[in-house]
Structure 1
């Protein structure tokens, strides 16, 4: 396949040969599981019904057919990864009934026919393979416990081969959340399949090495993404559960990481229970997030600041603001990173007001180019360019070299001052942003200041959640924003022309929702250019 993530590294070609298959992967296979790890995660019965009807919908794409489209030529890399990962078995389980069980067996059997003893860069990508090992073991009681002896033997033989493959290839080029998910597969394989304990020993050593690097002192994951935060925490809970089921000591690095990551996951939640939309994240499912937090069983209130991954959380009254105030994730860990430096989101209670545009599940090509762009975030753009270079196939080509933030919490409210030099190639322009949220939570005042050369066009964007309605006030330079609850907020600005225009929101799923954005436009002046704006709850007792 042409997808970057499925291109084998040096030496990968020989893995397809029969000699490698016989020498490296063959060996005795267990006949049953030594233990079945707990699987606390909910499945989606509607998704399971699609699978029952041979409709394969993953990562924003859907394909149908009597024969499973394992290598559909028009499928994206994320779709292929999900298809071959079999994590969707839990959706068939949620559907219930013998038909779902039979369909699971048919799909597993067909995969074994196609790829069980034949290496393929998609089917045998280590992170995809590890997901499949975890799924087949975790869903064993659903689809395999009552299967015929022939299928059971084939599955266990394949599992043993796949776990041995991981022993030979991991860590390889894997980094970040993908590596931790792969180590989970090694833990499952080594602990649940007799004779493969070397995989567990290798995984334990790599976990002890990787977790202090990936889970930073503020509890944030190095990919700086709320979605990665949720995924990695879920992986670690699964790993801990497997060790506990096997009555073995949980590696200290795993428990320490869970304890640190849990408050930071809470940090990224808005009042509706969903996640903030930074660096490739969608809202996620509040029920799943609640389940992860409950399974983590780790106390700790959300922090105000996560300085190592670069975010600020400002709360007052019913208002919550989350702001990206850090450098983008490092090269190699930036596959899903967005050019959203100094963007912010704002929610009132359970209602979102100011948002970023979100992310597409496929996260490649035109969708990535559009949604990872600075203009898809509630921040400032210069000359319609990005503050970090966005690659269509993932990652960033350039990034700010300096991002700074200062926070002051006082009786009157919270003040955050930040700046970045991501537009240094545009006349050495520096973007300064100041946010002040009053202690009541009903008055937000902002400034965007540009220092540098003149004659550059700028736009300060405020993307509104689709549920927000906008009205222009004829007698003053202001807009009235109405939340679904009926609450009204007045938006004012000076130093730029105010306009409203169309936008999109991809906070859930693959279908964009139409919405509106407020845009403040102008041209930089010699020296400094200052734009002031504010959001104030109408009917409050705050002085103007």
Structure 2
């Protein structure tokens, strides 16, 4: 899947840049100039740079046989406590795993050799395998063959990875592995022979000691929370693990004051990562409760504040909005997290610090991304989707963003393609992204080279109607342009009006024409057809009836799109309003209104 496919083109090759002066990764996927990348590197916090550099410089020490002498050895083959793990696995994937068929990151390998490092496997595939998250899927099979497979693979891993290696002992991978080994202990280890249990717990203790020594290891955001969850789990469950637990809770308390914003949103501005962090915090709380440990105030406060913000980001079907690397998730799984978090408060309507707005009237719900992308060092999940919106009617989604591949679905190239502005329901100017994208797996882990720095939003409500006036400067530095968007939702929820304007960022008019496209990506369940001689589009939902989209100031087109809301690719369509800016800019007005069913003729007596 390429950026051009997301934008609706039929040819697989991406389009060429329209202007070589576009300084940055465009919709075509060109890398930003070296100067911009160096400037973005300089924007990373100095402490973070030093942490990442120091971790890599210590690699020879971790790899040496002498390092292993300093890691602990356990004599007790019984864990002190076990963390609860109520999250469901996928039995079908578990059955495939029991037959040695591994599907991770969009890649399926049958009976790979060697299992832990097959030459044809991607980096993401290997990371998922070494994390042992698939133990939950084997557990869902609920049978001895799955249990035996789990033990055999675990025993093989322990034999091959007694010493440090960059991937197998990566701090994020290690944190995930510790959580899954101990979380699934009852399933695959409790009834095993004592020798297996002894080796498992000793390996876990050595990994925990290493993790306690290296964290934060240049990690930030939700990834660091995952690693801390693994360390806290090991500290609460393993003999002599109290120092590791203390270290984990100290770092966690510090991180929560930074990562959880005043409105309860997570600093990475991703609904999916917000959900993951909330679930990790709920699991840490449950682990501490099972171990009889006191609950830190910062942990309880974070859980209480993140719940209402999580509800803000839910659609009518209970799933999540598709902003910044999120998949929709199944509604019951989101509700399960919220129940465990005891989040009973109503959803927020506005999250000014995180940068999201929720407009709800009648059966219609509109969610808008109106915040600046996450800051440097926290932007690995950031998409170039500023001022994009999604809309649902009842439990049915109408307007969406393209989403992102699930953990089991796509490789890095596909993830990158779906980060572009054209994959979002917003305005794209001159085939350029509103924020410049860096490679997600770069050495310094930069997500963005440049971003929309100034994003404003004003909200007015009157008699049930809601008006949002927003603006961003993501195009100012390269195209000397501003994007303004206004959204108005009537009190009955059956009339959504919008206006998109492109204006010069300074006093000078545009010195060249700039093409624009306002996109409305449609959910795959929506049927769309051009009407009124191509001047409007009729959209029909399976249960919520018809809606008509019309506009002035642009040409209407109906094009192909792709939807990854469920993690898997599904064909869909998009309405695109094409136009060109004059010297003073451009102004597009559009309306999305519910079609009123024609009255049935009365029966004659």
Band the TM-score falls in, shorter-chain normalisation: over 0.9
Q: 1:176-191 alignment to 2 at 5 Å?
A: 176-191=221-236
Encode CA deviations 1:249-285: one digit per residue, 9 max, x unaligned: 1111111111011111111111111111000001112
Out of 193, 201, 212, the residue aligned to residue 257 of structure 2 is 212
Q: State which drifts further: 320-329 or 426-435.
A: 426-435
Contact 1:405/1:418, CA 8 A, preserved across alignment: yes
Equivalent residue for 2:337? 292
Contact 2:361/2:464, CA 8 A, preserved across alignment: no
Report the TM-score when normalising by structure 1.
0.95
Q: 1:271-350 alignment to 2 at 5 Å?
A: 271-350=316-395
Encode CA deviations 1:454-512: one digit per residue, 9 max, x unaligned: 51111101001111111121457211101011600011000011111111111113x31
1:380 aligns with 2:427: yes
Encode CA deviations 1:293-324: one digit per residue, 9 max, x unaligned: 11111321110111111010100111111100
In structure 1, the gaps of 5 or more residues are none
The structure-2 alpha-carbon separation of the partners of 1:486 and 1:304, relative to structure 1 and needing over 3 Å to count, comes to closer
1:10 aligns with 2:57: yes
Equivalent residue for 1:514? 571
Equivalent residue for 1:389? 436
For the aligned residues, what is the CA RMSD? Answer: 1.8
Contact 2:362/2:491, CA 8 A, preserved across alignment: yes
Deviation at 1:153, TM superposition (A): 1.4
1:409 aligns with 2:461: yes
1:268 aligns with 2:326: no
SS in structure 2 opposite 1:121? coil
Contact 1:6/1:121, CA 8 A, preserved across alignment: no
Higher relative contact order (CA 8 A, sep 6+): 2
Q: 1:44-443 alignment to 2 at 5 Å?
A: 44-65=90-111, 67=113, 69-115=115-161, 117-361=162-406, 365-394=412-441, 395-411=447-463, 413-443=465-495
User: Aligned equivalents of 2:522 and 2:78: distance in 1?
Assistant: 54
In structure 2, the gaps of 5 or more residues are 1-50, 442-446, 505-509, 599-605
Encode CA deviations 1:339-397: one digit per residue, 9 max, x unaligned: 00000000001111000001123665431232000000000011101000112335111
SS in structure 2 opposite 1:9? helix
Misfit runs of 4+, over 6 Å: none
The structure-2 alpha-carbon separation of the partners of 1:476 and 1:153, relative to structure 1 and needing over 3 Å to count, comes to closer
Contact 1:368/1:392, CA 8 A, preserved across alignment: no
Deviation at 1:102, TM superposition (A): 0.5
Contact 1:366/1:392, CA 8 A, preserved across alignment: no
User: Aligned equivalents of 2:544 and 2:485: distance in 1?
Assistant: 30
User: Aligned equivalents of 1:288 and 1:194: distance in 2?
Assistant: 33
Q: State which drifts further: 212-221 or 6-15.
A: 6-15
Encode CA deviations 1:22-60: one digit per residue, 9 max, x unaligned: 1x2133343210011111111111111111111111222
SS in structure 2 opposite 1:407? strand
The structure-2 alpha-carbon separation of the partners of 1:292 and 1:83, relative to structure 1 and needing over 3 Å to count, comes to same
The structure-2 alpha-carbon separation of the partners of 1:470 and 1:298, relative to structure 1 and needing over 3 Å to count, comes to closer
